[in-house]
Amino acid sequence: MQHEKLAGEASLAEEVTEILRARIINGEYPMGEKLIESKIAKDLKVSRTPVRDAFKQLSKEQLVEYIPNKGCFAKGFTMRDMSDIYAVRSSVEQLAVTWAVENAGSEDLARLWDHLVLMSFYTENNFYEKLLKANEDFHNMIYLMTKSRFIVQVLKSYQDYVHIARKNTLKKEADLPAIYAEHEKIYKALEARDTERAVEAVRIHLENSRTRAEERWIEIQKK
């Protein structure tokens, strides 16, 4: 198994948690597999303490289960989980784009346009990692445009799962032009201050995103 880089501003326990969360969701740790603390610590070249802390956090997220006297086991990430995440995300983001239409200023729209321009450039050149970042920036900007700190917190609560789903989806180059076109429609509706069009554009985009993510999830499970 390849070693991931432990870097960034987050604590070591948070970094380990992020890595293990991604492995569980992507199926590297199948449902029911025992997660051995010492083995993971050796694999990631860390002490057992951050691994133990990661287990505690993942237990709260119901991605692992601790059974006394037996150990920690992966609970896995199911198709139902994927569908549920996108159902919640669609509902929240349709509300977010409604509030964004009402509250966004001209400078907000200008920044959103900059993100869209970057997405176009990265799509044309298949710059996957940069496209992933620009895609996330585009959505994050819409959340901020709502001027609601509460909706931002709600969206952050499941952002890790969306990030992993988005990361897997964007690996299919054939889908990139369609993904860009969906974002362009969202921007144009916001620019026109057309709430109905914006909500519909978000709904269609997230429905398509759910389909792409589920298809990719099935491919991963077959490997």
Domains along the sequence of the chain with CATH? 12-74 (1.10.10.10), 79-222 (1.20.120.530)
pLDDT tens figures, 30-53: 888 999 999 999 999 999 999 999
Give the global pTM.
Answer: 0.75
Three-state secondary structure call for residue 62 = coil
pLDDT tens figures, 125-171: 988 888 888 888 899 999 999 999 898 888 877 777 777 667 666 66
User: Which tokens in the block code for residue 221?
Assistant: 């499970």
Q: Which residues contact 62 (CB under 8 A, 6 or more apart)?
A: 75
Task: Give the C-alpha separation, 71 to 65, whole Å.
Answer: 8
